[in-house]
Amino acid sequence: MILVQDQLKDQSEVRIDIEDRGYQFGDGVYEVVRIYNGQYFGMEEHLIRLERSAREIQMTLPYSIELLKERLEKLAKANDIRDGHVYLQITRGVAERTHQFPLQQAPFLVAYARKSPRPLSKMKDGITAITTEDIRWLRCDIKSLNLLGNVLGKQKAMDTKCDESIFIRNDIVTEGSSTNVYIVKNGEIWTHPANNFILNGITRQVVLDIAKETGITVHEETFTKNELMDADEVIISSTTMEVTPVISIDGTQVSNGEPGKVARTLQEKFNERIAQLQRVKN
C-alpha cells in the first residue's frame, strides 16, 4: 500500500500524470524518515522541516502535520515495517508545462514505506569518501526534489569505489552528497553551520544534542579541506547512514584508518536514543 494525498491505496491503482511538476521540474520537496522496530524516529522534526521546505518554495502543505502523522503511522502498519523508512514527497501538482507557478496550485503528495536494514557493518567498520566540488544551488537548506548535484556527487564516489562524496565549496567543506559531515580535532567537533549551504539534518540535530549532553564541545563553524584531511576523526550522519565514521578520504587514511573514539561515543548514545523511543512508546 502507498499513501496518495490522504488515502492509502494499492500501488497498481495509482497513476502519475506526465504533467506533474515534480516529474517535469523537480518542483517539490521531500523527506525520508527512519522506522525502528515499527516506530518512526524524529517524525515531528521531519514534518516540521517538510513544512519549512514547502514554505521556502512558496507551497503550502495540503494537509496538517497531525493528519500526515496519523496517515504515515497507518502506512507503516499496512506494510508491516519493523526496520525501514518512509519516503514522502509533495510536488506543486499537475498543470500545463510553464516554468512559472500555475494559477491554481494543487500540491500532490505520495509516500511509500520500505523495509531497510540498519547499516550496521558500515557503522562498525567505517566508510570511504572522496572530495568533490559542491556544484549545487545556493538553497541547500531546502529539501528539494532537485538532486542532480547530489546524484552526480554520489555517482562520482561510486565510480571510484567509495561510499560518499564530501562537497567542497571555495575550499570549505559543506556536507556529503546525502549526509552531514563532522570533523574531530583534539576531542572537539566541527560541523558546517546550518545555513543555506547545507541541509540541517535531523540526525545532525540529534548528534549535536548528544554531543552537548555528553560534554563534547561542538563548533558550528566552517572548516577547510586541509582541516578535513588533517582531522583526528571524520564522521557522517543521515537518516539512512545514522552516525558512521569515515576511514579514508581521496585514498588517504583518516588518522590511523580506524573509527575513532568520538564516533563510537556518538553511536552508543544514538543507540540509546533509539531504545528510548521504544520505551516512551510502549
Please give the positions annotated as active site: 30, 143, 175, 199
Sequential DSSP letters for 146-163: --HHHHHHHHHHHHTT-S
Residue in 204, 231, 233, 235 binding ligand PDD, rule: CB under 6 A:
204
Q: Is 199 in the site for ligand PDD (CB under 6 A)?
A: yes
Check residue 142 for interaction with ligand PDD (CB under 6 A). no
| Smaller CB separation from ligand PDD, 95 or 181 | 181
**CB nearer to ligand PDD: pick between 95 and 190:** 190
Cβ 182 to ligand PDD shortest distance, Å: 12
Q: CA 130: distance to chain centroid?
A: 19
Binding segment for ligand PDD (CB under 6 A), chosen from 112-120, 217-225, 232-240, 243-251, is: 232-240
Query: What Cα–Cα distance (Å) separates residue 223 from each residue in 170, 231, 242?
Result: 11, 10, 22
Whether the Cβ atoms of residue 57 and residue 142 lie closer than 8 Å to each other: yes
Q: Which stretch binds ligand PDD (CB under 6 A): 74-82, 225-233, 237-245, 257-265?
A: 237-245
| Site for ligand PDD contains 127 (CB under 6 A) | no
Distance CA 280, CA 76 (A): 18
Displacement of CA 64 from its chain's centroid (Å): 22
Q: Is the CB of 132 or the CB of 179 nearer to ligand PDD? A: 179
HEC secondary structure over 67-101: HHHHHHHHHHHHCCCCCEEEEEEEECCECCCCCCC
- If binding means CB under 6 A, how many residues of this protein chain bind ligand PDD? 15
Listed ranges 51-59, 175-183, 212-220, 227-235: which one lies at the site for ligand PDD (CB under 6 A)? 175-183
Q: Does 144 bind ligand PDD (CB under 6 A)?
A: no
Which residues 6+ apart lie within 8 Å of 112 measured at CB? 2, 3, 11, 75, 86, 87
Q: Pick the binder of ligand PDD from 179, 222, 244, 267 (CB under 6 A).
A: 179
* Identified binder of ligand PDD from the candidate list 150, 165, 222, 267, rule CB under 6 A: 150
Q: In what order do the strands lie in the sheet with 39-40?
A: 7-9, 2-4, 108-115, 84-91, 28-36, 39-40
Name all contacts of 43-47 with Cβ < 8 Å and 24+ positions apart. 43/69, 43/72, 44/69, 45/202, 45/205, 46/202
Question: Does 178 interact with ligand PDD (rule: CB under 6 A)?
Answer: yes
CA torsion 127-131-132-134 (nearest 10°) is 90
The one among 128, 239, 244, 267 contacting ligand PDD by CB under 6 A: 239
Residue 238 interacting with ligand PDD (CB under 6 A): yes
Give dist(CA 60, CA 99) in Å, integer: 18
Task: Give the per-residue contact string, 69-108, with ligand PDD (x = CB under 6 A; - = no).
Answer: ----------------------------------------
Residues of this chain that bind ligand PDD (CB under 6 A): 32, 150, 175, 178-180, 199, 201-204, 237-240
